[in-house]
A and B are shown apart, each in its own frame.
Chain A
Amino acid sequence: EAEVAQSPRYKITEKSQAVAFWCDPISGHATLYWYRQILGQGPELLVQFQDESVVDDSQLPKDRFSAERLKGVDSTLKIQPAELGDSAMYLCASSFSDVNTEAFFGQGTRLTVV
């Protein structure tokens, strides 16, 4: 069964260091989302791509976060420099860009900033 792949599963980094997460969506899915989930909360959108274009990055802290999807397939989310408050689960999801179709989520990357 096709699934969204994310790596790494776990990441521990020191504050002020750079960290990057990778996501490979389900083949053929044009829409890709990065969400951040703080422990005990629901996921919140960071950025949405349609193919290689950013559709919504209004909640992305652009002073330290960046995201790219250069060829419209896999995507990288980067944080530089990491802060203690960035500790969270980072979830990638993908979907067809059809009407009201479901988003498929990866297993996430658990980031701990020390």
Chain B
Amino acid sequence: GDSVTQMEGPVTLSEEAFLTINCTYTATGYPSLFWYVQYPGEGLQLLLKATKADDKGSNKGFEATYRKETTSFHLEKGSVQVSDSAVYFCALSDQPAGTALIFGKGTTLSVSS
């Protein structure tokens, strides 16, 4: 079945450091890919998405590129802030349209000043 694998955390960085969180997927169809962020005690918020190969999703300085050849969707940010501290989830939604999201286990990011 479909699955998402994320790098295990926690990831601990200093403010202004470069961030990469790796995500790879397995899917039978041609999925859409997502990154969600979860702040403590809260629900999930969509951070960015990509729906086809070579698409780049971006939001709030975060970017991820849909790489079909490597089945990857790595999350990057050039300069992290303390406020970026949260849990980040990679997810996919396979065909047909409207299929429920399948999530990775999440990666905790902690940024210190």
Q: Which residues of A contact B (CB under 8 A)?
A: 4, 6, 31, 33, 40-45, 48, 50, 55-56, 91, 93, 95, 97-100, 102-108, 110
Contact = CB atoms under 8 A, between A and B. Distances in A.
Contacts of A43: 44, 89, 101, 103
Most B-side CB within 10 Å, residue of A6, A33, A48, A103: A103
A103 B46 CA distance: 8
Contact of A100 (B36, B45, B97): B97
Contacts, number: 61
B44 A91 contact: yes
B98 A95 contact: yes
Contacts of B43: 4, 6, 91, 105-108
Contact of A48 (B32, B34, B91, B100): B100
Nearest to A55: B98
Interface in B90-113: 91, 93, 97-98, 100-106
B42 A107 contact: yes
B103 A100 contact: no
A100 B51 contact: yes
21 contacts: A4-B43, A33-B100, A33-B101, A40-B105, A40-B106, A41-B105, A42-B4, A42-B91, A43-B44, A43-B101, A44-B103, A48-B100, A93-B44, A95-B98, A98-B97, A98-B98, A100-B32, A102-B34, A105-B44, A106-B43, A108-B43
A100 B100 contact: no
Interface in B63-91: 89, 91
Contacts of A48: 100
Given A41-B106, A42-B106, A102 B100 contact: no
In the A-B complex, the 3 residue pairs with the smallest Cβ-Cβ separation, listed nearest first, are: A42-B103, A105-B43, A100-B32
Interface in B17-66: 32, 34, 36, 41-46, 49, 51
Contacts of A107: 41-43
B101 A103 contact: yes
A95 B36 CA distance: 15
A93 B45 CA distance: 11
A43 B44 CA distance: 10
